[in-house]
Amino acid sequence: SQKIEQNSEALNIQEGKTATLTCNYTNYSPAYLQWYRQDPGRGPVFLLLIRENEKEKRKERLKVTFDTTLKQSLFHITASQPADSATYLCAPRRGNKLVFGAGTILRVKS
Amino acid sequence: GAVVSQHPSRVICKSGTSVKIECRSLDFQATTMFWYRQFPKQSLMLMATSNEGSKATYEQGVEKDKFLINHASLTLSTLTVTSAHPEDSSFYICSARPDRETEAFFGQGTRLTVV
């Protein structure tokens, strides 16, 4: 069955550093991979989408990579700020459904 | 980005009653909407795919008679939790996307508490 794995433990980093979050998937060949941010008690907010034929995508301080050979996506936040503290979800997709990983909690300390 | 509005944000109901949750795409049309459920400290679990003008497609293990989904128009889908019980208490979230090639946008979520 399809399996999506994200860092199970919370990631604690210092303000100004780069946060790197990992998403691995198995038994799956997604055409797209999406990253979302979720704050407590709120719905996910879309951040970035990367397609299977794209290696890397950037948006302001965010960067996502997609390695279909390793079956892995990395999500980077540069110059992190306390306001970046949240749960980050990866969601690979092929076909109609969007299925989520368990998410990684990021805590940025000032 | 596109806006998806979900209402209500919080609802408390008595055991045995039914609750309806609305999901609207405000600035785009969505032929497909999705309903998720999220338990504390867990990820989103897809419950069903809602298709405009046709029956919803439910994921394995989700009772279609308990979770009624209606996709009445290209901008509105509703989820009705029928004969709610305390174990139905959860965070319900809808999402929609303008077309198959774009990202999905999510509503704010509905916290349902059944007492």
- B44, A44 contact by CB (below 8 A): yes
Q: CA-CA distance, A91 to A20, in Å (whole number)?
A: 16
- Per-residue model confidence as pLDDT tens digits over A67-78: 999 999 999 999
Its sign, for the CA torsion B69, B71, B72, B76, is positive
What is residue B61's predicted lDDT score, i.e. its pLDDT?
94
Q: Which of B77, B74, B94, B91 is nearest to B34 (CA)?
A: B94
B1: contact with A, CB 8 A cutoff: yes
- Binned at pLDDT 50, 70 and 90, residue B83 comes out as very high
Residue of A nearest to B109 (CA): A43
| Chain B nearest C-alpha distance from A14 (Å) | 24
Residue A78: closest CA among A14, A16, A6: A16
Distance in angstroms (rounded) separating the CA atoms of residues A99 and A66: 17
Measured CA to CA, the distance from residue B77 to residue B25 in angstroms comes to: 9
What share of chain B has pLDDT > 90, as a percent?
77
Work out the pLDDT band at B1, boundaries 50, 70, 90.
Answer: low
B102 reaches A (C-beta below 8 A): yes
Which pLDDT does position B20 carry in this prediction? Answer: 98
In chain B, what residues touch A49 (CB-CB under 8 Å)?
Answer: 102-103
Q: Is the pLDDT of residue A8 over 80?
A: no
Mean pLDDT of chain A: 93
pLDDT in tens, B3-24: 999 999 999 999 999 999 999 9
Contact call for residues B23 and B92 (beta carbons, < 8 A): no
Chain A residues inside the 8 Å CB shell of B4: 43
